[in-house]
Structure 1
Amino acid sequence: MLGKMPLMVLLALLGGLQESSGAQQEMLCTPNACFVLHMEPVRFHKAQNRCEDDGGYLLTVRASDEQEALLSLLSLIEKQQGEPALRFWIGLKLSRGECVRPDRTLRGFRWISGGEDSQFSNWKREPVSTCTEERCVTVDYSFSGQEQLRWTPAGCRMKASYVCKFYFQGMCEALTLLGPGKIIYEAVFSKHPLKSELQLLPFGTRARIFCGAQELATSLCRSKDGAYSWTDPGPFCKPGSRSCARSNGGCEHECRQEGEAVRCSCREGYELDGDGFSCRREDLCRAAACQHRCVTEETGFSCKCPSGFQLKENRRDCSDVDECREQACGDHGCINTDGGYRCECRPGYLLSHGECRDVDECESSPCEQRCTNNMGSFSCSCSEGFRYIPDVGEPRRCRLHCPHHKCPPICPGGPGGPCHCADGFLLNEGTCEDLDECTMDRCEQGCVNTYGSFMCFCRLGFVPKDEVKCTVAAGRDRSALVVVPTQEDPAVKGSSASAGPFLWIWVVAAVVLVASVFLIRLYVVHRQKRREESCSQQGAAPADHPDL
């Protein structure tokens, strides 16, 4: 079912106007204001000047009702080919020398039309902190129906469409023609004539009345005694004595004489216009039962649906298009809505102009040294002489690293300044040398030194406790040799470094050493038992042979 528009009086938008540049222009009027949408993209200050030259100002959105009025105007625009959204300037600006204020509703920006700061805002992205740059604001209108009219800070020199707003005290009803002629309405806010189909004209509108080819009179919409009326209310172009023999009686197509009057008619395919003399192409849409909009064509008419809908088989009614079936959100989540859809982005992506776009996490400097942005994520890396070691407390910290017994120090201030060594190394005569923690009795039983660290191990029958201590093992663990890499002492080392690339070489060496000691001990014990058995046998021999 087609969505309903906001409850407001739509007095104008009966078709597009054309600006002198050829760009489309649309107009919408409420009982006390008119909005003119200019599709031509221009810079902010040019848009501001054009609105002010016409007697209005660049659109402000001080409250939700003004936002609803703008949505009503934009909802009638046909989606441009290949354009997922339209972007417009609004009259909100941060002047150079003024600072962004995150604690305020408008973030320090001000409406160029003046007045008090409003308490309404609709920021899509928070403004970047600055006190030296001039910043302006655009709003985005998405044809998919999501993220509507969200405010985005932008440079004032970029180009966007714009909407001018004009306030009026009241309206006058359209003037009446009784004979052939035309009326040109000129509003104070537009250099271009208004459409003659308008039923109400804003205060200050000037009407030029033409009867035939001659301009007969002018009339002005004004206020008098609290009411709004024309200075010359008409009606105009009253018919007099006419003859089909003279200028076809004023008829555009066919003329039939009826006494002193004439009756005009039109050829097939045309119908008589409201002035009774002109002919226009027959409005086939008048009898059409189009659900949304009817368009007259050379061979007839056709029904049109708004963006997000498609014609049913009867070619008159509209049904919702399920954009999610067409993978409108790619591999992201998609929720179909009436006339549109809504994307639900995966982590690492942000919804922008109706599409999920990768977030460049590196802009927020999440890494200590180097950051590489990936689709939906990022990765950290370190400079030469440092190593990336994930840590629960500091998961993106880069630490000094040395994979050898000796390494040159890192001197941030250059020669002569303070220098630093990697964890587990000490500065000695301009060189970082590995500290042998095993000489400091760090382990309760066994210790193996590594580059930048050390390992503790326990003898057979013991298991590690608190990394550097050993306790008696229970059950099957009594026959196992346990080697435990230990964390560095923060009193000796600046951060937690790994044991180095040769960690497992030391582990294997320790295992082999302990296993060798164990085998040698078994061999010695076995030899000792055999010797004791041999001695006991020799001592028992004289008892078997008594003295003769």
Structure 2
Amino acid sequence: MKDVTGLLVVVLTSLMGQAGGIEPNSGYCIGNQCFAVFQDPSDFTTAQDQCMDQDGHLMTVRSSVSNDILLILLGNFTGRFWIGLHLTTGCPDAAAKLRGFQWVTKDSESDFNNWTPSFDSSCSSHRCVSVSREDEFKWIQEPCVGDAAGFLCEYSFGESCKSLAVADGESVTYRTPMGFGGEGVLSLPPGSTAIRMPARIKYVCSSEQWLQAPWSCEINNGGCEYKCAAGPKHVFSCSCPPGQAVNPTNKVTCEVATEDPCLPLRCAHDCLKSGDSYACVCDHGFMLAQDGRSCVDFDDCMDKRQCPGENFQCVNTVGGFHCACKEGYKLTGGLCIDMDQCMSAPCEHICVDTPGSYECACHEGYKADPKSPNKCKLHCDEDECAAECDPNDSTQCFCPDGYLLDERDDGSFCIDIDECSGNYCDQGCKNTFGSYVCTCLPGYTLVDQYKCVKNGDHTDTNELEGTEVTTTPNIPTTPPVPYPGPTRQPSAVTVGGLVGIIVCTVFVIVLVVFLVHRIANGGGKTESAGELKAPEGEAHGLHQVTSDA
């Protein structure tokens, strides 16, 4: 097979341009150009994008020849169709070439024009151009945002294949990579295919010549009806299912076999003739196992030549592979372009875009949250820092973890809490900004970040003697005294408020004692007077005692 590698590159490039595109309704090729008509309602910009997706652009009508092609393409269609002529800036100019309009190729070169007599030269005129059979294919100004019935695309290529010679009783049907074809095509772009009937021989156009199938398996299954297999030295062959054999004339179609020598081999994939005998072969992306009939997948990406190009990576799949952009890159125009991840605002404060990734940073007075690196938390590296207050509400102030809010006449401040005064550690304690660390004496090992266990009583050999651990991230589950907890948001009671509460409480207590004492003294006097007073003649239980004498 001659120049198979070059064929693969040229044809795949042609076919990839058609991936995901819409099918044209008809087309016409002449020389090194092809033209196609798409009956798809679109505005001007969408129509141009559709043509560009297939490596073309909206049709330019620069000569009477191209105008004749336009008449051929639209002869059976009704409605308005976009051509590649528009006014990009300024106002129409009747004295300028093409009256100030230009082609989508960003030039005004033209030996032909077909403007309608009702051309509008005002600055408020419509800026895009369409044609229709109903208006005798005159160039008519249209609003670019409106939908036309369809559009015309133009494609150019460097090399082309002439139509194949046809003998009596034969016919050849062609199909271009753009999706249109037929029998009466005189010039075809690379990647076009042809089928000669009735023999059903297939061809593909490459480097101005037709190559007979089977060709590379990467292109339309090599032209094979059933399966295509790659052999050594880039030799490709077709195979058929059990009970059928490859047609010896066209080498691609399958027909009923009078005798199938492959049946006894029980091949997992395919069977091909090898010299005077037959042997099992595997599909592309698989290799023959030691038993000579099974097929196993192999990692195509082990070949470093796969997926060349900057920022591409090879992704292995069952029976093959595909090329994709590395993480943080996207495919644009055949290249892997770095994505600006910061556009999606992944960071709470500052985002710095890097090749294939991004980095987060924090504003002054903050540091990255260890649990969520894309978020920021208040930070103070001194005993006292200014509090972070709401600019719209000065009463709403916040302090970093491990700090207490102190409101003063000159502002609100965050005071570092001395956690070591709370006896949170078994032995040694060192206060730090916003936290503290526990340490143990020689012969002891720190456990659970605050307990000291005598060596020999502790079985965890991974913890070392005298280890210092910051206890803010993980608070002990059973500390000697309750941990006060972080001060992410300020307490509702400030230092000044606390003093006021104590003074008020003392005053209330003194007042209650005074009232109780007053009531107690007054009640005693009343009761004594009542006891001394009694009605006349009443002896209050006392009886007079007289003597017998």
Global fold match (TM > 0.5)? no
Structure label with greater radius of gyration:
2
Normalising by structure 2, report the TM-score. Answer: 0.37
